[in-house]
Amino acid sequence: MGNAAIQSDVERIADVLVIGGGPAGTWAALTAAAQGASVVLVDKGYCGTSGATAPSGTGVWYVEPTEEQQEAAMKSREALGGYLADRGWMKRVLNQTYANMNDLALAGYPYSLDDEGQSYRRSLQGPEYMRLMRKRVKKAGVIIMDHSPALELLADEHGVGGASGVRTETGETWTVKAGAVVIASGGCAFLSKALGCNVLTGDGYLIAAEAGASLSGMEFSNAYGISPTFATVTKTAFYTWATFYYEDGSIIEGAGSQQGRSVIAHTLKTQPVYARLDRATEEMQRWMRAAQPNFFLPFDRLGIDPFTQMFPVTLRLEGTVRGTGGIHLIDESCASAVPGLYAAGDAATRQFICGGFTGGGSHNAAWAMSSGYWAGEAASAYATGLGSRSDRRELKGVSAQGSVSALASTDDVSEWVAAVKREVEPFDINLFRTEATLNQSLGRLNSLWRKVQHALAANAADAVRLREAQAMTATARWMYASALARRESRGMHKRLDYPGTDDAQHYRILTGGLNEVWVKPEAALHRTTEVHER
């Protein structure tokens, strides 16, 4: 990789390349193809089954397009997010999501019926949703390359023009030259074993940053999901109906409140925590089983009734997957600052609709389909505008790999991954933040980056794991540099040494850089208390 001439076993040319085959990627591919663009979609896993959405049920921010209902929907989360969301973006997402969910019905998605016999469109079952999206993408003529992770972007002086990677099943290398690229590769959960997240290691952030893109909202990347210790399902919303207990059966006060995860985290540092969904009525229990059947599979296999029996729980780091940080977008087309490069879904910042607080399932699902739609549409238009110039571009890989010939062993990569996890998973570093602990951790991550940045892999399989280690290290550095810069508590970013919210820091924070991480505030956002409290 790096600046060497591009030579690959498999070579393709397209108008638009989409990296990632989850909701955002498939909507981007579908929309670009609908505009007449030739499209190639590459997925690290198998498009339709990999990623956080595919194995799960998810709520969707689906709101009737009336002024009253949209106003209530936008207002409901603004304070939680520290007033960093944008009403214009929020309304666009509400309108686009409404249209896309209705489009899914026309395409044959099997929505359930509510008590009045009406189609219930505020949730989606991941397996059915992504199976349908793969079918639609293929029918639209998109070429899908499964098990084909992208390892670096290709660019020239005019911007991005494709990507290269490997096919993990065969070991072949591939190159796709394209007029525009959409990164929809998801966020970064740091291999925490949260369901569907082991392909989500921040790869898209890294290759975008190598091309010159910046990121935003990376301080809001410390999301932890509640999960049974014996399972990987992190459906935290269901724990709204839970009571939390110590091992002796006494109640953990405050664990079920809005700040409950902090209480649970404090308790887990010294002793086990147990939960029981004993606040759910019989009607609610039936609804929960119908809405999220995969949540109950681990319980059923072990013969545990979660509504009547206590079970041990833990907190799994979901990072930017359920956080709000990601690639910075410069306009409503979902363009990055790099010409020809677009971002969508969890790969892009969700601050525009979530501010500094997790979008959970519903907002993130709405953002994925909306931003994917817009990114695909804009990427197609950009590629069309290049015309014949696209064929004459002399593209090179933009990663730094290859500049130093240090061969990384499998053991090296495993240790580097473990080293990143030791910095991002502990509550006392990532959840309960202080300047001292963040600085110490960032220092260790900077040292680790100097080891991993220029390493080389011996084969295709090792190349993917090495890039994951590099991406996770880079992501953690951007997270903690941004967290240090925000000397206040806002949204999900909590500083023990700055527990209050500072009105002077009512701005979004940009970050980027590889050898040296940089951080700077965007222009301060303007709001008045009266506007948001009326």
Query: In this structure, are strands 509-512 and 215-216 parallel, antiparallel, or unpaired?
Result: antiparallel
137: nearest Cα among 271, 280, 41, 281? 41
**In the sheet that 243-245 helps form, which strands lie side by side, from edge to edge?**
223-228, 311-319, 273-276, 243-245
Is the separation of the CB atoms in 92 and 370 below 8 Å?
A: yes
Q: How far apart are CA 313 and CA 308, in angstroms?
A: 15
Is the separation of the CB atoms in 82 and 357 below 8 Å?
A: yes
Q: Quick one: 266 exposed, middle or buried, by C-beta within 10 A (0-12, 13-18, 19+)?
A: middle
Q: Which residue has the tokens 């007033």?
A: 83
Q: How far apart are CA 163 and CA 431, in angstroms?
A: 35
Q: Which of the following is catalytic: 77, 121, 134, 261?
A: 261
Q: Quick one: 6 exposed, middle or buried, by C-beta within 10 A (0-12, 13-18, 19+)?
A: middle
Show the tokens assigned to 43.
């997925």
- DSSP conformation class of 489: -
Exposure string over 398-435, b if 16+ CB within 10 A, otherwise e: bbbbeeeeeebeeebbeebbebbbebbbbbebbbbbbe
User: Could you tell me the sign of the dihedral formed by the alpha carbons of 178, 182, 183, 185, in that order?
Assistant: negative
**Which residues are registered as beta bridge partners of 201?**
188
Query: In this structure, are strands 311-319 and 273-276 parallel, antiparallel, or unpaired?
Result: antiparallel
Q: Quick one: 465 exposed, middle or buried, by C-beta within 10 A (0-12, 13-18, 19+)?
A: middle
Is the separation of the CB atoms in 178 and 383 below 8 Å?
A: yes
Active site (annotated) includes residue 261: yes
Round the CA-based radius of gyration of the chain to a whole number and report it. 22
Tell me the DSSP string of 174-230.
EEEEEEEEEE----B-TT---TT-TT-BSHHHHHHHHTT--EE-TTS--EEEEEETT
- With the CA atoms of 491, 496, 502 and 506 taken in that order, what torsion angle do they form, in degrees rounded to the nearest 10? -40
What residues are labeled active site? 261
